[in-house]
Amino acid sequence: MNIPLTRPFFGKEELEAIAKPLQSGWVVQGPHVQQFEEKMARFVGSREAVATSSCTAALHVALAALELQPGQEVIVPAFTWVATANVVEFLHAKPVFCDIELQTFNLDVNRIEELITERTAGILPVHQFGLPAEMDRILFLAEKHHLWVVEDCACALGSRISDRHVGTFGQAGCFSFHPRKCITTGEGGMIVTDSEEIARKARILRNHGASISDFSRHQSENGFLLPEFPFMGFNYRMTDIQGALGCAQMQRLQWILHERIQKAEQYFEALKEIEWLRLPVVPDGMLHTFQSFVCLFWPAEPSWDNLSELHAIRNRLMHFLQKQGIATRPGTVAVPVQTYFSKKYGYQPHMFPEAYIAEKLSVTLPLYAGMTEEEQNFVISQIKRFDFKLRKTAVIN
Ligand X SMILES: *Cc1c(COP(=O)(O)O)cnc(C)c1O
Residues 213-232 that bind ligand X (CB under 6 A): none
Nearer to ligand X, 188 or 302 (CB): 188
β-strand pairing of 148-152 with 172-176? parallel
Question: Cα(320)–Cα(325) distance, rounded to whole angstroms?
Answer: 9
Nearer to ligand X, 80 or 249 (CB): 80
Nearer to ligand X, 76 or 383 (CB): 76
Question: Cα(103)–Cα(389) distance, rounded to whole angstroms?
Answer: 25
Q: What is the DSSP letter of 53?
A: S
Query: Per CB under 6 A, which region of 15-23, 77-85, 95-103, 253-261 contacts ligand X?
Result: 77-85
Strands (E), 185-326: 189-193, 277-278, 286-287, 293-297
For 236, phi then psi, to 5°, come to: -120, 30
**By the 8 A CB rule, do 321 and 385 touch?**
no
Give the contact letters, 81-120, x = binds to ligand X (CB under 6 A), - = no. Answer: x-xx------------------------------------
Residues 314-353 that bind ligand X (CB under 6 A): none
Asked whether position 51 contacts ligand X by CB under 6 A, the answer is: no
Largest Cα–Cα distance of the chain, in whole Å?
80
Question: Cα(62)–Cα(299) distance, rounded to whole angstroms?
Answer: 42
Asked whether position 124 contacts ligand X by CB under 6 A, the answer is: no
Report the SS3 class of residue 175.
strand
The number of residues that bind ligand X (CB under 6 A) is 14
For 293, phi then psi, to 5°, come to: -100, 95
In DSSP terms, 161 is beta-bridged to 164, 286
Nearer to ligand X, 128 or 382 (CB): 128
Query: Per CB under 6 A, which region of 151-159, 310-318, 343-351, 352-360 contacts ligand X?
Result: 151-159
Nearer to ligand X, 84 or 193 (CB): 84
Query: Per CB under 6 A, which region of 80-88, 138-146, 199-207, 345-353 contacts ligand X?
Result: 80-88
Asked whether position 154 contacts ligand X by CB under 6 A, the answer is: yes
According to CB under 6 A, which one of 32, 165, 178, 314 is a site residue for ligand X?
Answer: 178
Q: Residue 350 CB: number of other CB atoms within 10 A? A: 9
Judged by the rule CB under 6 A, the positions of this chain that interact with ligand X are: 54-56, 80-81, 83-84, 126, 152, 154-155, 176, 178, 189
